[in-house]
Amino acid sequence: MISTGQPTITLSPAAGKDPGVLVVGLAETSEGELLIGLPDDLGKTFTKALGSDVAALARQLGGSAKPGRTVLVTGPGGWRIVVVGVGPIDVTPEQVRRAAGAAVRLVGGLPAAGPQTVTISLETAEPQVIKGAAEGALLGAYSYRKGSGAGIGHIILVSQNRKPEARQALELATTTASSVDLAREWVNLPGNVLFPESFADAVRPLARNPRLGLEVWDEKALERDGFGGLLAVGGGSDRKPRLVKLSYAPRGAKFHLALVGKGITFDAGGLNLKGADGMYTMKTDMAGAAAVLAATAAIAEIGLRIRVTAWAAMAENLPSGSAYRPSDVLTMYGGKTVENGNSDAEGRLVMADALVKCAEEKPDLVIDVATLTGACVVALGERVAGLMARDDETADLVLDAAEAAGEQFWQLPIPEDARPKLDSKVADLKSTGDKHGGALTAAAFLSEFVPEETPWAHLDIAGPSFNSGSAYDYTPAGGTGVGVRTLIALAHALAN
């Protein structure tokens, strides 16, 4: 995995004499709030020196058991304790993930001479809770550009579990968080740095892992093979499109999972030009490609016994004399013709090419991931991603994986009336429908490029792929890496 400056992390049965900043939890119980994870001797030291226990001091500073609420309590001997709300006492992995992330973010922003050590003591014992705490801490430590704080250098996770399962959970969390951070890093890069050719080049270091294979189609290869969607969308830019295939095929794998990601490195809307406000964050329109590539690299590093092939359709959508036009008829890879309804509905065109190409290998399941529609953001907001599938069994597989990973997806339908909206008088179908149910119509369009007998799900991550506001829990400002954890959890569930 490419390094993203991730802190080191280790397990310890107890907080040491020099824990750096110690993180403990405040939980809700039927009898009130309860402090968890604070060593008894340290608690007595604080009470004796300050005349009040740590929980009371935290409450005086505004702390509570509300999830994510954090306060810093300082005491004798230079001790610094972060008290973080964890919610109900019967914690879930996601509760601990959020709490650890919020606490580490606070510590990372504190002034210090150098990268800090943070010890997380939240009474983690079960492997999934250990994994959640470690992921939250590592994800909370990420920053694309360092702020005023010194950041985090080392994380110590306190756990009494000394079995191999604890170490395995920590290793899985480390690989998962690293892959999420890689996706975040790509999403955060500006369009003048990350464009189709440079994005494809950025994937090449992943293939240093001998388990991974890499193939890249440049504009000449795309033209030779007839990738009409990618060529049309990328035709308005001097930076030509790419199709990237990253493959992992371990010996003995019986299931083939295909992942297809939208990789529009900048989307100005083409001739259907976006407004200035809508264009500003369009460097992030490649978050789907980032997710499938980073997840595949992680799955290979973990060594899951499942074949995974990631396809990233990369293009830059700009207006120029060579840009494709509304009403153009495009011949997609595989021969199907599409009447272009709107050049700002470009993602589905590049995805269509990649979906047809990936289906030639007859995968057992196809998942596509894309920042596809503003309509999905209108429907579900900025923190929930949309899920559309041909059948509920496939949808349930993805929803179960998302729940295990701690990511929020909501199933939307592909109604019967969506496909007729795409009828065209001059082509096999049109790329856009009417103004209603845009996310559903987009899914109906994509479904036309996946064989009916192939299980398929479409993940629209337009809302949660980029956080334009302030950081919260383990989610930073900027690229979030959404989808990566769900895809890894899905591969775990499907591996034999």
In b/e form, how buried is each residue of 106-115, taking b as 16+ CB within 10 angstroms? bbbbbebeeb
List, in order, residues 6 or more apart from 247 with CB less than 8 Å away.
Answer: 212, 213, 214, 215, 296, 307, 308, 309, 310
Task: Return the biggest CA–CA distance within the chain.
Answer: 83
Q: How far is it, in rounded angstroms, from Cα 241 to Cα 286? A: 13
Q: How far is it, in rounded angstroms, from Cα 349 to Cα 332? A: 8
Q: Two tokens at 47?
A: 């009470």
State the Rg of the chain over Cα: 24
* Residue 428: C-alpha distances to residues 259, 270, 419, 449, 463 (Å): 25, 23, 12, 12, 30
In the residue annotation, 348 being an active-site residue is answered as yes
Q: How far is it, in rounded angstroms, from Cα 224 to Cα 47? A: 75
Q: How far is it, in rounded angstroms, from Cα 188 to Cα 209? A: 24
What values do phi and psi take at 81, rounded to 5? -125, 125
Catalytic position from the list 59, 80, 211, 274 = 274
In the residue annotation, 274 being an active-site residue is answered as yes
**Of 258, 267, 266, which is closest to residue 295 (Cα–Cα)?**
258
Q: Note whether 244 and 311 are within 8 A (CB).
A: yes
Q: Note whether 270 and 320 are within 8 A (CB).
A: no
Q: Note whether 345 and 331 are within 8 A (CB).
A: no
Q: For helices 484-494 and 287-302, what crossing angle results, to 10°?
A: 40
Catalytic position from the list 69, 98, 239, 348 = 348
Q: Note whether 23 and 104 are within 8 A (CB).
A: yes
Task: Give catalytic residue positions.
Answer: 274, 348
